[in-house]
Structure 1
């Protein structure tokens, strides 16, 4: 098993970053009027996930790291809500919604497991 030297080695961070890219891709097609609404909120919540994983990893104590992971987990819940709303407004296709929610569910499970291990 490979030693984790920095946050870039964490699979949970890599998946979080991939989720950001997916969110940016699907929100490109949203109406212009949503640019400062749902688009901005979804992108901000998505970016918050790997950002908090990275920041927490570089903290001195596990208790601090755990707190940042909880923030990332909260951002997952926030993003899930935004995805559901976007789906209800027909801004996302069923396939896009399912793909986003599946990746988000996987990310949330990985975060919970990491929190338990700390």
Structure 2
């Protein structure tokens, strides 16, 4: 078993959660139960699946939770695109966050591959 708090992939994801909450606070009020909620739930799901996976008894089970985490990362990326298309965030912020989420996706994929190889 792994200590999720010591995993770099978990810590980086926690920073994304904070960033997601920060940007969604600026969204229009009518998005409270729409895009705002969905983005934040996805952002939280990414590190949550990583931490839950660390409790599993095998690397195979842990890899399944990493797969869910990766899915949430791609879902969050789509929602980021929606937010940008609706002019809820600036192009600069969009580019910054798009780069971060792509790095996160690569980190999860790489960690999952290493885990499955061991």
Q: Which residue of 2 aligns with 1:100?
A: 97
RMSD: 1.1
Q: How many residues align?
A: 115
Contact between 2:17 and 2:40, CA under 8 Å: does it hold in 1?
Answer: yes
**Deviates further, 16-25 or 89-98:** 89-98
Q: Which residue of 2 aligns with 1:74?
A: 71
Paired with 2:85 and 2:2, the residues of 1 have a C-alpha distance of 42
SS in 1 for 2:89: coil
Listed as ranges, the gaps of 5+ residues in structure 2 are none
Paired with 2:47 and 2:104, the residues of 1 have a C-alpha distance of 10
Q: Which residue of 2 aligns with 1:50?
A: 47
TM-score normalised over the length of structure 2: 0.94
Q: Deviations over 1:14-57 (max 9, x none)?
A: 00000000000001100000000000000000000000000001
TM-score normalised over the length of structure 1: 0.94
Structure 1 residue runs of 4+, over 6 Å off? none
